[in-house]
């Protein structure tokens, strides 16, 4: 079980865009420098966030901008936008339990609904966390270090 790093890259990307929007043209190369991630990966994440309506990006002078206010963007929005969890769900169950084994024959019945509940609970928690709270904390840390 693992959520891809695209999720945290998406959060970091949005933080860069908001924190530097008044001082720099925020580009994929700029974000790559901040994240330490290859610009090609950054461009892919930006594309997914743009497709989800979270970011705007155009060639030219404007760079990358937010498409909606930070308090309208949740962790869940980013998680969903960057395909953090594939269609099989957070818990990828092994495909071929032995139907001749009593455990193999019944393991899905005993665990699937529980695993789904865990994923639903996590996703509901992600919906409660807004990027405005994260950016506020980032700004406080930056000010404390100045």
Q: Can you tell me the distance from the alpha carbon of 129 to that of 139, in angstroms, rounded to the nearest whole number?
A: 17
| Candidate CATH numbers 3.20.20.80, 3.40.1190.10, 1.10.10.10, 1.10.8.80; the one for domain 6-145 | 1.10.10.10
Structure confidence by residue, pLDDT tens digits, 26-63? 999 999 999 999 999 999 999 999 999 999 987 666 67
pTM of the model: 0.87
Structure-token match 């933080």, residue found:
15
3-class SS of residue 7? helix
pLDDT reported for residue 137: 97
Query: Bigger pLDDT: 58 or 111?
Result: 111
List the chain domain ranges.
6-145
- 27: number of Cβ within 10 Å: 16
The per-residue pLDDT of the chain, averaged, comes to: 91
């Amino acid at each position: 079980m693992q959520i891809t790093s695209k999720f945290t890259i998406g959060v970091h990307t949005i933080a860069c865009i908001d924190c530097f929007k008044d001082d720099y043209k925020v580009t994929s190369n700029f974000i790559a420098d901040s994240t330490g991630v290859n610009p090609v990966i950054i461009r892919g994440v930006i594309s997914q966030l743009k497709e989800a309506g979270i970011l705007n990006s155009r060639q030219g002078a404007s760079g990358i901008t937010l498409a909606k206010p930070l308090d309208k963007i949740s962790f869940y929005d980013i998680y969903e936008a960057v395909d953090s969890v594939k269609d099989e769900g957070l818990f990828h169950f092994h495909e071929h339990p032995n139907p001749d084994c009593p455990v193999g024959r019944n393991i899905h019945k005993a665990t699937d609904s529980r695993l789904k509940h865990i994923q639903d609970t996590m996703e509901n928690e992600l919906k409660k966390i807004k990027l405005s709270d994260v950016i506020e904390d980032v700004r406080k840390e930056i000010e404390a270090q100045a």
